[in-house]
Chain A
Amino acid sequence: MAETAVSSPSAVAAAQPASASGSLLNAITSRLVIMVPYLWLLFFFLIPFIIVFKISLSQTAIAMPPYVPVLGVGEGISGFLAQLRELGIDNYVWLTEDPLYFNAYVSSVVIAAISTFLALLVGFPVAYGMARAPASIRPTLLMLVILPFWTSFLIRVYAWIGILKPEGLLNQVLLATGIIDQPLVIMNTHAAIFIGIVYSYLPFMILPLYSTLEKMDFSLIEAAQDLGCTPTGAFWKVTFPLALPGVVAGCMLVFIPAVGEFVIPDLLGGSQTLMIGKTLWNEFFANRDWPVSSAVAVILLLLLVVPIMIFQSAQARAQEQGR
């Protein structure tokens, strides 16, 4: 008895450092885990962005790589500083001088906005139907939404050419059934781009909508109707406000890539469609003007990502308050 009484304080003393080191280890592990996404962003977003930003301040040159200066410390610190002095905002000034860029930005935003709205119109009923389907078939429906991703995006867009062209599948079916007597001109118009973008990005609209609608208690709609709301009224007063986070997320997921989209306008939109992604592609590959295309990319990023980040943080704050 006496022995245990004597030994127990030392046992406690021995246990303490062990638990302290344990909590330290925990703290380090949790920091490490949090660091992984930050490192990812650093290496795959921030550093590439800094490189692009630097190139946008350079001058084009017939060289390898096709711009000057190439920063380096080969000529010492003073050489590096001299190189820095060569950087300038000429390319940004150039973007404001040629209306092509401004028009391309505006046209991209407009096309992306219309496509996003159309994707919402198509995606909402689909997501709603999925959320109200029997729980047993929902995984299958989800699978069907994701299934197109198993085929290459490029091939799927090419397939649309086969469907939309004047002698394509759609026109043949419509002519054969007598609905039209002249083939519809869809290829190489904005309509073809809308179809292409809505088709390609629909899953990104459906999935967030589905996940919010699935969580919704459908007795809320019955309650609204019970209190005198018509089904349409109940949709706008209850379903839609509750689905709003999904609507916002889905629209972001469609709008952001759609603005920079270049494959779809290039393949389906023909030569007269102006979109910033296509302009960027032309500057980069046809003109080999890396600095100007970098400037185009930086402006695109500022135009899109910054307002979206502000919007999202405002939303997060609003949600925090609501909780």
Chain B
Amino acid sequence: MKSLGSIRRDFAPWNDPDAKPYIAFENVTKRFGDFTAVNNLSLSIYEREFFALLGASGCGKSTLLRMLAGFEEPTAGRILLDGQDLRGIPPYRRPVNMMFQSYALFPHMTVEANIAFGLKQDGMPKPEVDARVAEMLKLVKLEQFTKRKPHQLSGGQRQRVALARSVAKRPKVLLLDEPLGALDKKLREETQFELMDLQQSLGLTFVVVTHDQEEAMTMADRIAILDRGEVMQVATPAEVYEAPASRFVAGFVGNVNMFEGTVAAREANTARITGASGAEIVVENAGEAAAGNAVAFAIRPEKIKVSSRKPEGAANAMEGEVFDLAYLGDMTVYHVKLTDGQVVKASALNSARVTEDPLTWNDRAWISFRPDAGVVLTR
């Protein structure tokens, strides 16, 4: 059986036609003056889903989160949470909690008081508050820091306090605004997995906003890619990467090589694409592309093989010369300049210590790829 990438968990309510979305944005528009931050956007998020909103800054992802939290009201459209229209409900009455990008820890309160803050607002009796705070501190491994003030903590510890504070009330939905943005790379990688474990063990719905595609790919069940207030694609990380819906998505997530051309012939699922310079590409998964369409063929660098001789029997092979080369240890990235002048990126995993086909600058080289290695993009 063929599949797009590995399957992380058996959880896909979005494929179930009977599943009811937990959070639904219905034709939501948000304008600030003349600026349209969110433009007629619809989106469904399911219960217990880890959902990521991914986009460059200014794409409207934070506005979506703030509308869900209640800090902004949509200009048009509506937002439903568990079937209830959220319009007019102030932030302090919404069953959602948010972890802020700046953490927004109360500087005049101890770690303990910060975590207990929301529980006390609900009038929870003191013994229960204490028990819940202790539980939260244990969850984020900060038991020794109860009496510290936020400025006495490291960045990573502050992030944990913010997390503990936002999940302490057991919200229906946890909103995370760039939750790992302020951490250094190593800590970020560790925390990604911790967040996933936390989401699994608490069984909450997480909506995370991020500009870091790696972060979104690692953590999320599904990713919505946003651009200028509109959804470009909503799909699992593997689908976003292996089957991007448009040139924008293909270019935004990961590295990609694009060949612009027209569909010369279409037969069943196979298409022949002719480039401007006459090069021909055979694609087995042609999707919607019909003969005569102007399309882009997108292929990821790791799916291109580089060799010094023309590979035998390859469906697609093009000749060029090694234009640039980067040795990264675990892999090598080649920039191959084709005869028509296009530079193609190809990466090869250095799975053996020694190579039988060494290539260096200005060597003649062939690139080749399988007919199902790339996708045809009509948009």
Residues of A with Cβ closer than 8 Å to B? Answer: 217, 219-220, 222-230, 233, 237-238, 241-242, 322-323
Across the interface, which residues of A come within 8 angstroms of B149, CB to CB? Answer: 322
Is residue B151 contacting chain A, with contact meaning CB distance below 8 A?
yes
**B residues at A contact (CB < 8 Å):** 69-71, 90-92, 96-98, 100-102, 104-108, 117-118, 121-122, 149, 151, 165-166, 169
CA separation between A222 and B151, bound complex, in Å?
20
Q: Are B100 and A227 in contact (CB under 8 A)?
A: no
Residues of B within 8 A of A230 (CB): 90, 92
How distant is the Cα of A217 from the Cα of B169 in the complex, in angstroms?
Answer: 23
Report Cα–Cα, A5/B64, bound state, in Å. Answer: 72
Residue on B nearest A218 in the bound complex, by CB: B104
Query: Which residues from chain A contact B102 at a C-beta distance below 8 Å?
Result: 217, 219
CB contact under 8 A between A228 and B169, given known A222-B71, A222-B91, A323-B151: yes
Contacts of A228 in B (CB 8 A): 92, 118, 121-122, 169
Once bound together, how far apart are the Cα atoms of A323 and B102, in whole Å? 20
CB pair B118 A217 closer than 8 Å: no
Listed from nearest, the 5 A-B pairs whose CB atoms lie closest are: A227-B118, A228-B121, A223-B104, A219-B104, A225-B91
Task: Judge whether B69 and A227 touch: CB under 8 Å.
Answer: no
B122: nearest chain-A partner, CB-CB: A228
Residues of A within 8 A of B69 (CB): 222, 226
Chain A residues near B118 (CB-CB < 8 A) = 227-228
Can you add 9 more A-B contacts, CB < 8 Å, to A229-B121, A238-B106? A217-B102, A217-B104, A225-B70, A225-B92, A226-B69, A227-B97, A228-B92, A228-B122, A233-B121
CB distance from B127 to the nearest CB of A (A): 19
| CB closest chain-B residue, reference A242 | B108
- Evaluate contact between B117 and A224: CB separation under 8 angstroms: yes
Neighbouring A residues of B97 by C-beta, 8 Å: 226-227
Residue of A nearest to B100 (CB): A219
Given A228-B122, A241-B108, A323-B151, A223-B92 contact (CB < 8 Å):
no
Contact A242 B151 (CB under 8 A): no
21 contacts between A and B (CB under 8 A): A219-B101, A220-B104, A222-B91, A222-B98, A222-B100, A222-B104, A225-B71, A225-B91, A225-B92, A226-B96, A226-B98, A227-B92, A227-B118, A229-B121, A230-B90, A230-B92, A233-B92, A233-B121, A238-B106, A241-B108, A323-B151
A227 near B151 with CB under 8 A, answer no
Query: Which of A219, A227, A322 is within 8 Å of B117, CB to CB?
Result: A227
